[in-house]
Amino acid sequence: MPAELATTIAGLIKAEPRGDVVARALDSIRTHLGMDVAFVSEIVGDRVVFRTVDAPGLGEFIKPGDSHALDDVFCGHILAGRLPELMPDTAAEPLAAAMPGALAIPIGRHMSVPLRRADGSTYGMFCCLGQVADPTLSGRDLAMMRVFADLAEFEINREHAARAIVDDRRNRITSVMSDDAMTIVYQPIWNLVTMAPVGCECLSRFASWPSYGPDHWFAEAAAAGLGTALEIAAIHRGLAGLAAFPDMAYLSVNASPATVLSGELDSAFAGVPVDRIVLEITEHDLIVDYSAMTQALRPLRRAGLRLAVDDAGAGYASLHHILDLRPDLIKLDMHLTRGIDEDRARQALTGAIAGFARDIGSLLIAEGVETSAELATLRALGIELAQGYHLGRPMPLDHAAALFENGRPALAAA
DSSP character string of 136-161: T--HHHHHHHHHHHHHHHHHHHHHHH
Give the three-state DSSP class for 386.
strand
- Distance, in Å, from the CA atom of 148 to the CA atom of 6, rounded to the nearest integer, reads 11
pLDDT digits (tens, 9 = 90+) for 151-177: 999 999 999 998 888 888 888 888 888
Residues 6+ apart with CB under 8 A from 70: 43, 46, 47, 48, 76
Cα-flanking dihedrals φ and ψ of residue 211, to 5°? -85, 90
Give the three-state DSSP class for 122.
strand
pLDDT of residue 277: 97
- Distance, in Å, from the CA atom of 157 to the CA atom of 168, rounded to the nearest integer, reads 16
pLDDT digits (tens, 9 = 90+) for 347-390: 999 998 888 888 989 999 999 999 999 999 999 999 999 999 99
39, containing H or E segment: strand 37-44
pLDDT, the chain, mean: 88
pLDDT digits (tens, 9 = 90+) for 14-38: 444 445 889 999 999 999 999 999 9
Query: Amino acid identity, residue 392?
Result: G
pLDDT digits (tens, 9 = 90+) for 285-294: 678 788 999 9
pLDDT of residue 323: 79
Residues 6+ apart with CB under 8 A from 15: 21, 24
DSSP character string of 5-72: HHHHHHHHHH--SHHHHHHHHHHHHHHHHT-SEEEEEEEETTEEEEEEEE-TT-TTTS-TT-EEEGGG
pLDDT above 50 (res 414): no
- CA dist 25 to 9, 37, 102, Å? 8, 12, 24
% of the chain at pLDDT higher than 90: 67
Please state the pTM of the whole predicted model: 0.71
- Give 139's pLDDT tier (boundaries 50, 70, 90): very high
Give the number of other Cβ atoms within 10 Å of residue 242's Cβ.
18
Residues 6+ apart with CB under 8 A from 151: 9, 12, 13, 21, 25
Please, what is the end-to-end C-alpha distance for the chain in angstroms?
Answer: 75
pLDDT digits (tens, 9 = 90+) for 184-223: 999 999 999 999 999 999 999 988 666 788 888 898 888 8
